Structure 1
């Protein structure tokens, strides 16, 4: 199997050149992760692989471990298995904050070219959630594409398209139906040979069904939608699959709440209209609340800006500010732990020399 069919290009070829050619290494891409056992596509097929002790020791957080979509450096491990020694730099990564109180990064998909942000036109339709998904997508480095599903069940589909277009200026929007095949051919244009597309969205929006339509086969299990419109989690893991036409698809578990991890301008990109109005405010430090000469509030009063959109912008801003404070505290704890380990190791080495 030619690894170019799995997305290997000049960017990653150049990264592989930095490794010592005298060492026997394998090149491969992670296609599935399950409890720190990875399935990796290499040139002569698939291998099950574990991570080396060195890589495990060097990993500071979750982002230090391989994720689905990563290109990795492997070596033979015996009994048909392999060992992952290194992860190549990621060209893009779609991340979120881990669920719960623990502050850590979870990589949803790595080295993705396009992210399909899938949203149903039924009870799942939620503009505020789409703003959040767009912010994370812009941060990832991949190109966001909005996919509105279940078009055959929506009598006012063009109205909903217009609502989405209002908050996602310049982002392609496709309306699809798995029942009658509407829009499927348009999406296939993104899945040219070696290109990677990740799908993300809430449970029940039809991601698995959409993948089966794009592949024209039953690649993934699909589930029914409950009476309240919420779907069951038919996808419980991330897996990279190759389509017969050559494109690569990465499905992800349904995420009704996508907590942000960092902001490299994604929020500002998503809410660029608010920032444009803010530039016209009388005061540069305007909080857009009760200040005189606030252009943002004037735009809301004139119906040019949605008040709920401003509220969501503030909410994401507070979330990122809180996360930065937690990260700083976490970094200090990690640094103390690192010095403790070094101190213990130093004492062991000193006793050994005696």
Structure 2
């Protein structure tokens, strides 16, 4: 991407970043646009340059999340590469960060994108459609500090759009939902309202849902490569790394590789499961686990058909994942054993409760 004389405010540079940058003398502000191994591309006021972190920076880093990530504003020693690679000395404070836990130990953290205003959670209405995964994305997105927006793709391959929109509205409380198709411009125009000078929009979702296609349509030209996608959503996504793209007077967008697995580092379950939290106020006990306690408003909502068993189970699962963060394997096993011993009867009662709900549902269908 060849850039010259950059409008840094359109790039997302705010007065807060400018004031923080004044602590670092003889350095320039830049924004990380991509990363490849130990090298970064950084957009400065003069051009986009190749950079690496300083030896001191590398020595002081305590975790993976402290390395520069796409979207970070950094302090760098030059604005062009005429004298070699730039050297990154500092990261300015992140106003938001979308991160995920990678498979492995608790240190395996991947910063997906930082300093973002809006997260487009992209999900296909075809085989990629998965409400439980969407709940996970929403929980992390709300926690990131950015505003989540759901973008549904491939509507031309779905014959039950209205039913799926109803399902999504029941779990995506307070979240805007947009429907698009890859065979026409229908739906894309509504997404343009999120693009404006100084704003950053990140595209998140599984492989093959059409994130790059969406970006190309919004930009009005083919900047990102796309491959033909199969109807089973197993098409190969050409994006292999995160990339920040600046748009003239419309801020920036960040494209990300597909993510089918999204391990939780932290999550805002209060917002993403606001329906369950609201119901919990009417439970008899303040510490109700919604499993076997009498006068549980959450169980009553399930019995009355206002809440699905699957959503409650998803809530429990995500709550446990956030609870285990920061614990080593032995601590996690001990915690699980204690939970199993203390709630054995409760889990048995819940299984019986779920079984009765399913039996009632079968009886109604008859």
The interval holding the TM-score normalised by the smaller chain is 0.7 to 0.9
Quote the residue 2:62 is aligned against: 60
Alignment of 1:214 onto 2:221: no
In 1: Cα distance, 2:54 partner to 2:88 partner: 6
- TM-score normalized by the length of structure 1: 0.87
Aligned to 1:18, which of 17, 23, 35? 23
Aligned to 1:6, which of 5, 11, 14? 11
Alignment of 1:129 onto 2:133: yes
In structure 2, do the counterparts of structure 1 residues 327 and 320 end up closer, same or farther at CA, with 3 Å as the change threshold?
Answer: farther
Matches within 5 A, 1:295-314: 295-314=297-316
Which region of structure 1 is more displaced relative to structure 2, 273-282 or 94-103? Answer: 94-103
Alignment of 1:178 onto 2:195: no
| Number of residue-to-residue matches in the alignment | 325
In 1: Cα distance, 2:189 partner to 2:330 partner: 46
In 1: Cα distance, 2:123 partner to 2:87 partner: 38
In 2: Cα distance, 1:327 partner to 1:84 partner: 35
Secondary structure in 2 aligned to 1:205? coil
The Cα of 1:2 is off from its aligned counterpart by 2.1
In 2: Cα distance, 1:131 partner to 1:220 partner: 28
- 8 Å contact 1:103–1:327 — kept in the other structure? no
Quote the residue 1:254 is aligned against: 258
- 8 Å contact 1:152–1:180 — kept in the other structure? no
The Cα of 1:187 is off from its aligned counterpart by 0.5
- 8 Å contact 1:73–1:86 — kept in the other structure? yes
Alignment of 1:268 onto 2:290: no
Q: Residues 152-179 of structure 1: CA distance to partner in whole angstroms, max 9, x if unpaired?
A: 2222212212211111111111111231
Which region of structure 1 is more displaced relative to structure 2, 92-101 or 319-328? Answer: 319-328
Q: In angstroms, what is the RMSD of aligned CA positions?
A: 1.9
- 8 Å contact 1:40–1:49 — kept in the other structure? yes
Quote the residue 2:242 is aligned against: 238
- TM-score normalized by the length of structure 2: 0.85
Secondary structure in 1 aligned to 2:325? helix
In 1: Cα distance, 2:310 partner to 2:170 partner: 13
Secondary structure in 1 aligned to 2:77? strand
In 1: Cα distance, 2:234 partner to 2:327 partner: 34
Matches within 5 A, 1:135-174: 135-174=139-178
The Cα of 1:17 is off from its aligned counterpart by 2.0
Secondary structure in 1 aligned to 2:150? strand
Q: Residues 128-158 of structure 1: CA distance to partner in whole angstroms, max 9, x if unpaired?
A: 1100000000010011111011122222212
Structure 1, unaligned runs of 5 or more: 330-354
Matches within 5 A, 1:71-82: 71-76=73-78, 79-82=83-86
Quote the residue 2:200 is aligned against: 196
Which region of structure 1 is more displaced relative to structure 2, 216-225 or 145-154? Answer: 216-225
In structure 2, do the counterparts of structure 1 residues 270 and 328 end up closer, same or farther at CA, with 3 Å as the change threshold?
Answer: farther
The Cα of 1:102 is off from its aligned counterpart by 5.1
In 2: Cα distance, 1:2 partner to 1:245 partner: 9
The Cα of 1:224 is off from its aligned counterpart by 3.0
Structure 2, unaligned runs of 5 or more: 1-5, 332-366
